[in-house]
Structure 1
Amino acid sequence: MNAKELLEKYRNDLCSEQEKRRIEKWFLFHNAAAPSGLSDDDLSDLQRKDFTKLESKIVQKKKSPYLAPVKWSIAAILFFCLVSGALYISRHPGHISDSRDVLPGTNMAFLTLSNGQRINLSQIANGTIAEQANIQISKTGQGQVSYLEIAGNGVQKSNATNTIETPKAGQYQINLPDGTKVWLNADSKLTYPVALTENGTREVTLSGEAYFQVAKAYTSLRGSKTKQSIPFIVHTRSQEVRVLGTHFNINSYNEEPETITTLEEGSVEVVMKSSLAQSIEYPPLRGSSPQSLRGSMTKQPKTVILKPGEQAATGRGQEIQVSPADLQTAMAWKEGRMYFKQADIKAIMRQVSRWYDVDILYAGEVPERQITGGFDRNAKLSAVVKTLEQNGIVIKTDYRRNGTIALIVQP
């Protein structure tokens, strides 16, 4: 598919999720270079498809992470990025050159409101985004969106839900209306009710990885001055994590073999999701009434209580495994680092893939090695590859015609 066809699909909302992600990533990366900033020579370079020369000028002019002037439309950006297939029209493995280096991830996310409107948070300026259930939704700073109750009217009961999702090479922070703060890692999604505290529990659903700093919340019992704590529940693919007020990290990527909850502060209850609401049916005893004796016994969910410095892991079909946590490793991403302790090569490369939005391929059998070390998440991809090669991992780079990059791990 050529660039014009892809742009037409995007305008008509016919793109696949992968095509949307590709288009929007190019837009975010190049949105500071407006047509008003392109000279006649630049346009001439574009017509001649001299992408290397044009790209160097764009990088020099790139100053602001926010939306460029209106007349620089997404179609215009994508046209020069995608004409004839890609910026990089050669395809040859090798080391990463300076001109083709990959920047690290940054603050990128998409917010989907209850009415279906999808907002690119990287494109809008700080200020109010929307109002729902008497709650004001605002972008408050680079990499943050906040929900605040509008004074005087109280939060309205509502079943409306919002979803914030980060693409690969993206991260974001969300401040929920109860005061809870959530940091989303790359390629993650969080769905939550707008009126978070109005239904007796605070329940959210996570796919990917997030760090939670849960605020305590209370509700008054009807006819009494007594206040009752409102639990905060996180649903993932294989766990249900219940808390009142605490700090913890959940890693629940679909491509990872386990869902891991790591507790830094406070206390959490972890329930193995597959054990919830399981029941055993018993047939009636001989000679007894089926209606009176037939029934079911609900099994107790498999539950553990974590203490600070512990983690709970659940794989597909296994019991909850509790062990001492390596907080440095689990919390490193939130502090701007990647850190590995006795990690295998594939586990490391999955993190690299998510943060730099590159594909990982294996040329043969993967070496069985355990690696300890780390690097700054602000580093360019070339620095990461160099660090891995210093640890004996041989990597070649494949620049594809469609503009994507693959790292090929050699045996």
Structure 2
Amino acid sequence: MDNSIKNLFLKYINNQCSRHELDEVISLIKGGAHQSEWEAAISEDARHTDRLDQESDMTEAETDRIYKRIENKLFLPEHTGTAGFRMRVVRVWQTVSAAAAVIIITSAVFLFFNNRKGSTNSSSVHIADVRPGGNKAFLTLSNGKKISLTDAANGNIAVQPGIKISKTAEGQIIYTAQKMPSGMNAEQYNTIETPRGGQYQIRLPDGTAVWLNAASKLIYPVNFRGSRERRVQLEGEAYFEVAGDKAHPFVVKTGRQEVTVLGTQFNINGYKEEAVINTTLLEGRIQTRNLNSGQSRILSPGQQSSVVKGGRDIDVMNVNTDNIISWKNGYFIFNNQDIISVMKVISRWYDVNVEYEAVDTEEKFGGTFSRSSELNDILEVLKKLGKVDFKVKGRIVVVSNQ
């Protein structure tokens, strides 16, 4: 075995190659003569990832079994595809679990062996380029004035009673408290809303930081002063890092659910088109309450509560929180999800509509993708990993079986 080639493959798996090294890797993969070095690089990287993931309880044997199971699946005839297909392997040590890392790595294994087999199949569908989303949002002030945060210049963008609103170069809205004029009504509300293909970060008047995902809306008071609680309303998905204030609980209302916190980090996914509101706790302690029944549950870090819209119960389960907030860190992580669930996430970020012909809703997909990837890159990977096909017509994606 050539250790220099193995180390080069390791650099490729971790996106550490220079342009010259990347050309060399592509040449080696096309040649298909270094299987042992490729397998050694994958095994070493998988073991290293497992050691670095402090929250993972997977043993090395379990990691190997997952690797083998996915590898065997990818080698089935229906998963063969176009020779020479190039996939960019995405790796982030802090946010990817050992299992997810194995999925990404074995996707690269698929590329290697697919080229070795010399498959002559080719897709007849040209997938048009659709750019990923970015920092886009609209701020509607309590007086009805609507500000495009995408177009607004950096610096001060508005002044309201007791509050100055500014925009940073990093695409964040910051509220800074000022002296409150006497006799002013504190019950005024602003709204920040992201379109499909948008995301934004805001720091509320109390210092709470909020990251809004695509197609989401947050309604909040212009100023929390004078209120017994800090109450906001969410539609869509957001990640919260709540500033501590035991005397003034922070309350988030999403549909028929309320979450009450004192100071903590959590994520709420409550899109109108979804049947379930999922709330995931990363740090601290929160209480979720189903407004249909009055039932409440206390969550501990690593737990997720689920409230079915129209239902009366609250279900709680342990989850991998890295997967839940991957969107905030710039990634999609799909874990054993059907194509309809996957495409819902993709449609919001790339601002496309999805239509379905005959599709297999039982087929499951898994993997990690950068949210900065172009749409065609992600669709090509999904085509190679399953029995699904795509046609892009403007901003409409038609999904069908291969």
Q: TM-score range by the shorter chain?
A: 0.5 to 0.7
CA distance in 2, matches of 1:395, 1:377: 21
Question: Is 1:355 the equivalent of 2:349?
Answer: yes
Deviation at 1:155, TM superposition (A): 11
The amino acid that maps onto 1:344 is D
Aligned positions of 1:291-306 closer than 5 A: 301-306=294-299
Task: Report Cα offsets for 1:241-287 as digits up to 9, x if no partner.
Answer: 00000000000011122100000000000000212xxxxxxxxxxxx
SS at match of 1:229: coil
Deviation at 1:329, TM superposition (A): 1.6
Deviating more after overlay: 248-257 vs 304-313: 248-257
* 2:277 counterpart residue number: 259
* 1:103 counterpart residue number: 131
* 1:122 counterpart residue number: 150
Larger radius of gyration between Structure 1 and Structure 2: 1
* 2:358 counterpart residue number: 364
* 2:239 counterpart residue number: 211
Deviation at 1:156, TM superposition (A): 5.5
SS at match of 2:223: coil
1:245 to 263, 274, 284: 263
Paired residues of 1:95 and 1:396 also in contact (CA < 8 A)? no
Aligned positions of 1:52-91 closer than 5 A: none
Deviation at 1:130, TM superposition (A): 1.2
Question: Is 1:374 the equivalent of 2:368?
Answer: yes
Deviation at 1:341, TM superposition (A): 1.3
Question: Is 1:148 the equivalent of 2:176?
Answer: yes
CA distance in 1, matches of 2:377, 2:188: 44
CA distance in 1, matches of 2:182, 2:174: 17
The amino acid that maps onto 2:399 is I
SS at match of 2:277: strand
Question: Is 1:315 the equivalent of 2:308?
Answer: yes
Gaps of 5+ in 2: 1-123
* 1:232 counterpart residue number: 250
What TM-score comes out, normalization by structure 1 length? 0.65
Identity %: 44
1:274 to 276, 292, 303: 292
Paired residues of 1:157 and 1:195 also in contact (CA < 8 A)? no
CA distance in 2, matches of 1:255, 1:332: 21
Task: Report Cα offsets for 1:72-102 as digits up to 9, x if no partner.
Answer: xxxxxxxxxxxxxxxxxxxxx9231xxx301
CA distance in 2, matches of 1:121, 1:249: 23
Paired residues of 2:277 and 2:309 also in contact (CA < 8 A)? no
1:339 to 330, 333, 340: 333
* 1:407 counterpart residue number: 398
CA distance in 1, matches of 2:220, 2:170: 21
Deviation at 1:367, TM superposition (A): 3.3
Deviation at 1:128, TM superposition (A): 1.1
The amino acid that maps onto 2:363 is R
Question: Is 1:94 the equivalent of 2:156?
Answer: no
* 2:199 counterpart residue number: 171
Paired residues of 2:162 and 2:180 also in contact (CA < 8 A)? no
Paired residues of 1:250 and 1:262 also in contact (CA < 8 A)? yes
CA distance in 1, matches of 2:253, 2:361: 35
CA distance in 1, matches of 2:400, 2:199: 26
**Alpha-carbon spacing, 1:332–1:393, altered in 2? closer, same or farther (3 Å):** farther
RMSD: 1.9
Gaps of 5+ in 1: 1-92, 218-227, 276-300
CA distance in 2, matches of 1:368, 1:272: 31
CA distance in 2, matches of 1:329, 1:344: 16
The amino acid that maps onto 1:216 is G
Paired residues of 1:241 and 1:269 also in contact (CA < 8 A)? yes
Deviation at 1:316, TM superposition (A): 2.4
Paired residues of 2:355 and 2:396 also in contact (CA < 8 A)? no
Paired residues of 1:358 and 1:407 also in contact (CA < 8 A)? no
**Alpha-carbon spacing, 1:384–1:133, altered in 2? closer, same or farther (3 Å):** same
CA distance in 1, matches of 2:281, 2:183: 31
Question: Is 1:391 the equivalent of 2:385?
Answer: yes
Deviation at 1:369, TM superposition (A): 1.6
* 1:180 counterpart residue number: 208
The amino acid that maps onto 1:268 is I
What TM-score comes out, normalization by structure 2 length? 0.66
Task: Report Cα offsets for 1:152-192 as digits up to 9, x if no partner.
Answer: 97996511100000000000000001010000000000000
